[in-house]
Amino acid sequence: MMTPDDLPPPDSPAPGAPATGHERIASYLRQLDSSPGVYRMLDAQSQVLYVGKARNLRARVATYARPTGHSPRIARMIRETASMMFLTTRTETEALLLEQNLIKQLRPRYNVLLRDDKSFPDILISAHRFPQIRKHRGARTDRGDYFGPFASAGAVNRTLTQLQKAFLLRSCTDSVFATRTRPCLLHQIRRCSAPCVGLISEEDYAEAVRDAARFLSGRTTKVQESLAAQMHEAAERMEFERAAALRDRIRALTQVQTAQGINPRSVAEADVVALHLEGGQACVQVFFIRAHQNWGNHDFYPRLGGEEDAGEVMQAFLLQFYDSHEPPPLILTNCGVDDPDLVMAALSERARRRVELAVPQRGEKAELVEGALRNARESLARRMSESATQAKLLEGLAEAFDLPAPPRRIEIYDNSHIMGAHAVGAFVVSGPNGFEKGQYRRFTIEDARPGDDFGMMREMLTRRFARLLKDDPDREGTGWPDLVLIDGGQGQVAAAHEAMTALGVHDIPVIGVAKGPDRDAGKEEFWRPGASRPLALPRNDPVLYFIQRLRDEAHRFVIGTHRARRTKALLANPLDEIAGIGAVRKRALLSHFGSAKAVARAALADLKAVPGISDQLAETIYAHFHAKG
């Protein structure tokens, strides 16, 4: 592959040549040939405006060099272009994959951009003598059988609950399983067969695992027929308790299928992707069909330039979405893409098997696509309605606090601790499209004195704006807030303002939200830096409710962060502090002694007797605990 230095662009225009525009682009044509590759268009500040791929670089760039015939969006992009960069590739498919990687990395202003890059959970049946069934998110590196993806953690949790009722598979970790001496509560409520204490044979448990895997693979009828036959046989033998248990298992499987709603018989494994465009915005609905079952759906709202057609948006979405997710063998869409053969080749290369794109016109597949399109249409209508309401609230907020313009990015700060312990801070972000959860951030309070709320706020704002000044000193990005809200009163506001002023940030409004004299929702008081008394809003003012929602979201987020840190501290194992003790050796020690306290009390000879623990490591463990004593 050729690097940018292999194809040197003119770094500055020749004397008399234009600094930007189609003539500037034309100056590159004499250096280009007909190779496939990727091009980048940059503005005068070297910010990437657009990333594109081409089967023939020279021919593609020549289209931008024409002075007329462009859409308003493309014409605006050409006028801003001051320089270009090029990368040649061996094939057009390679160029397409490289283009999508650069778009995700550089996030150019004029490209269609998929902003939500979340992962989707699976169900994992582990590789173990008595396999565990559990939710898994992330790379499929653990050994076992994976079933997914599911659209949400809620969909996985509901399915797992019913599968535990139906097949009584264990959900505990291997370390817990190895150290159990009596059945747990899940066995008592009939959600586990307690293999940990031998209440089920290895053969019977393996049969239950096979049934669960068959059910998740789509062979639901055979599993239910087998269970029904066992139930009738048990009833004939007058084993009514066993018959009732089998009846409950059948009912649990039926509830899984009922919750899934759509269960197509003609589609075994596919993603159904539907796009709806309206008012310069887009919504894409993705339904996951696996093993003839609907495993949920998720909506996405890609960022548009405003003039893209459906084929361009669909192609960009598919390539960016499946860059981080495994494509299924079949993708059903409601509209074609600009270059279907090239997209299928790129997705097939990504999956290392054939991937087919189809736009069905009739039958069950067309009904699936129509259902996804209806969901996309309704989701976009709700989002546009919410955006309109949000815009009015932002305008009201600007008017209430005399801001120069409605804020496009609001950061709301809060901190949490218990008598100074486990102190954390956090901020959440809101804007024209509501809460931007991908922008939330947490802080571990390090320097402030325990219990010093003002010092915690000062530290948090100092670290936040010092980072902004380092990463984007010219404020060219979108990370700088237009308004800072503080969950607190006059003291917290003064501390925040002091931190920002010390860094030279004077122009961002700071407002504190205090609960008021009665600490009653609806009687909040609002403090500005240097104010001698607070401002209040009418109790029924929509802006007041809006600020309450912002404050409550920050409070929810920081409380969750604090709770997680506190829980982690409570569950911390002293063995984790010893160098050389990883998961395997820790499990061996706990299995041998039963608890970390017993390890701490153990004699050196007993530590050396543990399988997998060398004499040297045993001495390290012994010295660690006895040095503390």
pLDDT (tens digit per residue) in 202-252 = 998 998 898 888 878 766 666 667 777 777 777 777 777 767 777 776 776
pLDDT score recorded for residue 286: 93
State the CB neighbour count (10 A cutoff) for residue 202. 11
Per-residue pLDDT averaged across 551-566, rounded? 88
276 pLDDT tier (thresholds 50, 70, 90):
very high
d(CA 227, CA 508): 66
pLDDT score, position 3: 43
CA gap 231, 120 in Å, rounded: 36
- Residues 273, 256, single domain; the answer is no
What is the pLDDT averaged over residues 289-307? Answer: 83
Residue 389 inside a domain? The answer is no
Alpha carbons 549 and 524: distance in angstroms, whole number: 12
Instruction: Give CA separation, 99 vs 16, 54, 205, 485, in Å.
Output: 33, 10, 49, 39
Q: Taken in order 524, 528, 532, 535, is the CA torsion positive or negative?
A: negative
Q: Give, for 384, the enclosing helix (H) or strand (E).
A: helix 363-400
Q: Which of 143-157, 199-213, 496-510 has the highest mean pLDDT?
A: 496-510
- Exposed, middle or buried, 560 (CB in 10 Å: 0-12/13-18/19+)? middle
- Whole-angstrom CA distances from 160 to 164, 254, 293 are 6, 13, 15
Which of the listed residues 524, 550, 569 is the one where a domain comes to its end?
569
Residue 393 belongs to some domain of the structure:
no
pLDDT tens per residue across span 390-402: 889 999 999 999 9
pLDDT in tens, 316-349: 999 999 988 889 999 999 999 988 999 999 999 9
Domain count, the chain: 5
More confident residue, 628 or 432: 432
- Are 293 and 218 contacting, i.e. CB atoms less than 8 angstroms apart? yes
Name residues whose C-beta falls within 8 Å of residue 454's C-beta, 6 or more positions apart in sequence: 491, 492, 494, 495
- Separation of alpha carbons 500 and 493, rounded Å: 11
Summarize pLDDT for 485-498 with one digit per residue, the tens: 999 999 999 999 99
Please check whether residue 244 lies inside any domain of the structure: yes
Instruction: Provide the Cα torsion 439, 444, 448, 449; round to 10°.
Output: 140
Could you tell me if 491 and 453 are in contact, meaning their C-beta atoms sit under 8 angstroms apart? Answer: yes
Pair (374, 414) in one structural domain: no
Looking at the domain assignment, is residue 251 inside a domain? yes
User: Pick from 17, 78, 13: which is nearest to 52 by CA?
Assistant: 78
Three-class secondary structure of residue 512 per DSSP:
strand
420, 523: one domain: yes
Residue 117 forms part of a structural domain = no
| Residue that finishes a domain, picked among 548, 569, 590 | 569
Q: Are residues 298 and 439 in the same domain?
A: no
Close Cβ partners of 75 (under 8 Å, ≥ 6 residues apart): none
317, 326, 360 from 273: Cα distances, Å: 10, 14, 12
User: Can you tell me the distance from the alpha carbon of 322 to that of 345, in angstroms, rounded to the nearest whole number?
Assistant: 13
Number of H helices, E strands in the chain: 20, 18
pLDDT given at position 407? 95
Question: In terms of Cα–Cα distance, which of 450, 524, 464 is closest to 489?
Answer: 524
State the pLDDT at residue 508: 95
Instruction: Give the pLDDT band (50/70/90) at residue 166.
Output: confident
From 212-221, 348-357, 553-562, 616-625, the region with the lowest mean pLDDT: 212-221
- Regarding predicted confidence, which is higher, 78 or 571? 78
Q: Which residue has 């951030």 as its token pair?
A: 441
Question: Using an 8 Å Cβ cutoff, are 288 and 149 in contact?
Answer: yes
Decide: helix, strand or coil at residue 377: helix
Identify whether residues 131 and 231 lie together within a single domain: yes
Q: Classify residue 272 by its DSSP letter.
A: E
Helices 340-351 and 310-321 sit at what angle, rounded to 10 degrees? Answer: 10
Beta bridge partners of 564: none
Predicted local confidence at residue 11, as pLDDT: 45
Distance in Å from the first CA to the final CA of the chain: 62
Residue 47: which CATH number? 3.40.1440.10
Best CA proximity match to 44, nearest among 10, 71, 74, 12? 12
Whole-angstrom Cα distance, residue 512 to residue 370?
A: 48
- Count of alpha carbons within 13 angstroms of residue 370, beta-carbon side: 8
Q: Is a pLDDT exceeding 80 seen at residue 6?
A: no
CA distances from 301 to 115, 183, 280, 383 (A): 7, 47, 11, 9
Is residue 401 domain-resident? Answer: no
Q: Please state the three-class secondary structure of 112-177 as a single string.
A: CECCCCCCCCEEEEECCCCCEEEEECCCCCCCEEEECCCCCHHHHHHHHHHHHHHHCCECCCHHHH
Identify whether residues 561 and 428 lie together within a single domain: yes
Do 587 and 563 fall into the same domain?
no
Q: Say what the pTM is.
A: 0.67
Which residues in 78-94 are b (16+ Cβ under 10 Å) and which e? bebbbbbbbbbbeebbb
| 188 in the same domain as 209 | yes
- Residues 420, 441 contacting (CB under 8 angstroms): no
Same domain for 415 and 483, yes or no, is yes
Residue 382: φ, ψ to 5°? -65, -45
Last-in-domain residue among 333, 361, 381? 381
pLDDT at site 252: 65
Q: Are residues 621 and 514 in the same domain?
A: no
- Residue 281 belongs to domain spanning: 269-381
Q: Is residue 396 domain-resident? A: no
Q: Report angle CA 349, 355, 359 to the nearest 5 degrees.
A: 135
Over the chain, what is the mean pLDDT?
85
Q: What is the CATH number of the domain that holds 456?
A: 3.30.420.340
Please, are residues 150 and 159 in contact by the beta-carbon 8 Å criterion?
A: yes
Is 186 within the bounds of a domain? yes
Span 138-161, average pLDDT: 85
- Residues contacting residue 30 through CB under 8 Å, at least 6 positions apart: none
Q: How confident is the model at residue 85 (pLDDT cuts 50, 70, 90)?
A: very high
Helix axes 453-471, 490-502, angle to 10 degrees: 30
What are the tokens at 492? 């917290």
Give the C-alpha separation, 455 to 551, whole Å.
20
Please indicate, yes or no, whether residues 278 and 153 belong to a single structural domain of this protein.
no
**What's the pLDDT at 254?**
66
Q: Tell me, yes or no, whether 220 and 305 share the same domain.
A: no
